[in-house]
Amino acid sequence: MAKLRIGTRGSNLAVKQTELVVAALLKIEPSIDLRLVKIKTKGDVENRPLFAMDEKGIFEKEIDQAVIHRDIDFAVHSLKDIPSELPEDLVIASIPKRAKPNDVLVNSHKLPLKDLPAGSIVGTSSLRRAIQVLRLRSDLDVRPIRGNVETRIKKTLNGEYDAIILAEAGLNRLSMQANISERFPIRSFVPAPGQGIMAVTCRSDNLSLISTLKRIEDHESRQQAMAERSLTQNIQGGCRFPVGAIATTKPNTNELSLHASVFSSDGSKNIRLKETGSIADAIKIGNKLAHRLNQMGVEKLATEWRNAIRHWNRRL
């Protein structure tokens, strides 16, 4: 097989994720010649928190454009960075096995959230995480934070923040799990759709490469991803509306359950729904749950959030 060029962001986490894909490919096809190509994205150079940027694909657009233009052959992304709709000449060719999707708390004193002193400054880049923290501890001072995983951890260890919240998958992939103070249960602290999932994109007309990439795919992780993405594609309110969603599958069964949680901007309201069905109907399950959420007034909550985001932006 010819040399294949893999596009990735330059962060340590992005490179590590790409190396995991490389290792999986070499295991099934040792003769593959693979070369990493680091590409800088708009999200890498922006200093604003993610919720302040009203656009899609800030961490993947430049990389996937390189795929489309054949500057690279395929790319490795965090699934939650990929917009709901891809260009027609791109496809998510492979989804390897999902890592743990939980959010985790990090602080230098190894305290759980309930034991943080009142007024503690908690950093997060996510409105979804921020509102869930404030629902549990309204006496905390939740503030925006930017930077890669290592930078954020450094900011809490040196006292700039009293604690931060991150995705467990990233810490595990960087072998930094010793910093975890508390793991939040996925039912009570619902992750972002796609959290813990890597996605490999390539051109939709590159059938030979798609066939190779499919060999490192995990079927259950693919169905979980499809359920969560179909939910976000069909929910009213837009991409900046913080939605928690997690699909789970029972071992040795064909059952998939999709849990979703949405909040009002002040945290006083929480709509929690669940939809269960056959794993083969993952997309239908996501669509059905989105329809139920829409019927319960999600669009009104989204309008409230658009106003609330202006308040958060003033804190930058």
Q: Which residues contact residue 40 at a Cβ distance below 8 angstroms, ignoring those fewer than 6 apart?
A: 9, 10, 62
| Domain identity same for 36 and 92 | yes
In a domain, 58, yes or no: yes
- Work out the average pLDDT over 34-52: 67
pLDDT in tens, 260-298: 999 888 888 899 999 999 999 999 999 999 999 999 988
Are the C-beta atoms of residues 263 and 237 closer than 8 Å to each other?
no
DSSP state of 188: T
pLDDT in tens, 119-157: 999 999 888 999 999 999 999 999 999 889 999 999 999
Structurally, how many domains does the chain consist of? 3
Residue 208 has, within 13 A of its CA and on its CB side, a CA count of: 4
Instruction: Annotate 211-280 with DSSP letters as a single string.
Output: HHHHTT--HHHHHHHHHHHHHHHHSTT-TTS-EEEEEEE-TTS-EEEEEEEEE-TTSS-EEEEEEEEEGG
Domain that holds residue 39: 1-97+197-217
Count other C-beta atoms under 10 Å from residue 141's C-beta.
13
Per-residue pLDDT band for 1 (boundaries 50, 70, 90) equals low
In a domain, 117, yes or no: yes
In a domain, 190, yes or no: no
| Domain identity same for 166 and 24 | no
- Strand pairing class (4-8; 74-78): parallel
| Domain identity same for 53 and 1 | yes
CATH code at position 244 = 3.30.160.40
Count other C-beta atoms under 10 Å from residue 74's C-beta.
27
Please determine, for residue 44, whether its predicted confidence score (pLDDT) is greater than 60: no
Reported pTM: 0.90
| Domain identity same for 45 and 121 | no
The type of residue at 23 is: A
Query: Which listed residue (81, 89, 139, 141) is catalytic?
Result: 81
**Is 81 annotated as catalytic?**
yes
| Domain identity same for 229 and 260 | yes
| Domain identity same for 93 and 207 | yes
| Domain identity same for 227 and 299 | yes
